[in-house]
Amino acid sequence: MKRKLISAVVAGAFALAPVAMAQQKPAAGKISDGVVKVGVLSDMSGLYSDLGGQGSVVAAQMAVDDFGKTVLGAKIEIVSADHQNNAETGANRVREWFDRQQVDMVTDVLNSAVGIASGKVANEKKKLMMNVGAASTRLTNEDCNPHTIHYAYDTYALANGTGKAIVKTGGDTWFFLTADYAFGHSLESDTANVVRATGGKVVGQVRHPLNAADFSSFLLQAQTSKAKIVGLANAGGDTINSIKAANEFGITKNQSLAGLLVFITDIHSLGLNTAQGMLLTDGFYWDFDDKNREFAKKFFAKMKKMPSMIHAGVYSATMNYLKAIQAAGTDDALAVVAQMKKGNVSDFFLRNGMLREDNRMIHDMYLMQVKKQSESKYPWDYYTLKATIPAAEAFQPLSASRCPLIKK
């Protein structure tokens, strides 16, 4: 009797073992917790909110809706939060999302300091971050990791487009007005390297706090430098306010401004009379072709403004993430990244897109010039395409990479 009882207990244990193992580890081809959850982390209320913010949440939801709202039979959900342009706040939110809310992927992350800090959390938690909004090349150099994809643009691509073009047209002496944090430092450094390599000279720089209230003292230093070009290594509200102040102080009568990261929403805020003639580098323009216009008009119906590069990038990143889950048969972060690296990734945003071994998504970038008021034929008709920068040339070459993922 005792022997039969022991046999029954052992048999029961073996019968339960597969169940216990299945609870500990998801079966292949399944979603880890039955839901795919995407977190949109952005500046919802500060100087970058027009570039990303609620528009990024809308763009991510548009991708989910267009995909069909489920993947591998699992519901897709969007959550969002305001990082307040604070690295600690952003990293803590990402940690809480991963630990308590079962978020699988975080996107936008519109601030380089936030992006670097949050990327470290993603790597620690073995979850995926598809960084669209942050620009510092540190994300694919010393701070790269297997769980962070740098998706839309970076400071190397911006410098390689705008900086090189301006020097070649005679703007060979530069003074930088720089936002004093990781993004600004990276943009200044990358542009200064391009200026020097193209035959130009950097005569000085000044750094201003994020979301500066007054640019007068900084612009006075730029004016005193007598540089032909004042390079604006800032973004969003800081770029808008520095351009307005430069015009008010008459700096633009003798010096030219180079907006090193300018979005279409910035041009809309400035107006063509103020921004006309400016050269800039972008990864997206709503009026390129029918596919771009189709996305842009749907976005405009919801947000009453045309999408920025970040909005288009968030849509693209979310859509391609879901496609990779579908193809890989799992939401495991590294399996999704491996799937994306299997071939070219192309859509209305990614032209000649390819995910490299350093987790940099490369794609064509564009040198644009802001139209004169007389050249604009309809609302948001702001840009003339001056040159397409091929994907392989737009971004830092792997030979120059400091990313530990690169096999030397």
pLDDT tens string 291-343 = 999 999 999 999 999 999 999 999 999 999 999 999 999 999 999 999 999 98
Average pLDDT of every residue of the chain: 92
Burial (Cβ within 10 Å: 0-12, 13-18, ≥19) of residue 358 = buried
d(CA 347, CA 33): 29
Q: Buried b vs exposed e over 63-89: b needs ≥16 C-beta within 10 Å? A: bbeebeeebeebebbbbbbbbebbbeb
Using DSSP's 3-state secondary structure scheme, residue 162 falls into helix
What confidence score (pLDDT) does residue 21 get? 35
What confidence score (pLDDT) does residue 18 get? 40
Residue in 263, 272, 270 with CA at minimum distance from that of residue 235: 263
d(CA 275, CA 99): 45
Neighbouring C-beta atoms of residue 379, cutoff 10 Å: 9
What confidence score (pLDDT) does residue 98 get? 98
According to CATH, the topology of domain 156-282+366-393 is Rossmann fold (3.40.50)
Q: What single-letter DSSP state applies at residue 176?
A: E
d(CA 370, CA 152): 21
Tokens matching residue 25: 């580890």
pLDDT tens string 241-295 = 999 999 999 999 999 999 999 999 999 999 999 999 999 999 999 999 999 999 9
Question: Do 382 and 122 form a contact (C-beta atoms < 8 A)?
Answer: no
What confidence score (pLDDT) does residue 16 get? 39
Element containing residue 78 per DSSP (H, E): strand 74-82
What confidence score (pLDDT) does residue 407 get? 77
What confidence score (pLDDT) does residue 20 get? 37
Question: Do 105 and 128 form a contact (C-beta atoms < 8 A)?
Answer: yes
- Paired sense of beta strands 365-370 and 279-282, if any: antiparallel
What confidence score (pLDDT) does residue 344 get? 87
Task: Check residues 6 and 344 and name the one with the higher pLDDT.
Answer: 344
d(CA 128, CA 109): 12
Across 383-406, average pLDDT: 95
What confidence score (pLDDT) does residue 19 get? 37
**Above pLDDT 70, what percent of the chain?**
93
Across 208-213, average pLDDT: 96
Asked whether this chain's domains 35-153+288-363 and 156-282+366-393 adopt the same fold, the reply is yes
pLDDT at 157 over 80: yes
According to CATH, the topology of domain 35-153+288-363 is Rossmann fold (3.40.50)
Q: Which residues lie closer than 8 Å to 117 by C-beta, 6 or more apart?
A: 87, 88, 90, 91
What confidence score (pLDDT) does residue 343 get? 87
Q: What are the domain boundaries of the chain?
A: 35-153+288-363, 156-282+366-393
Q: How far is CA 319 from the centre of its chain?
A: 15
Burial (Cβ within 10 Å: 0-12, 13-18, ≥19) of residue 377 = exposed
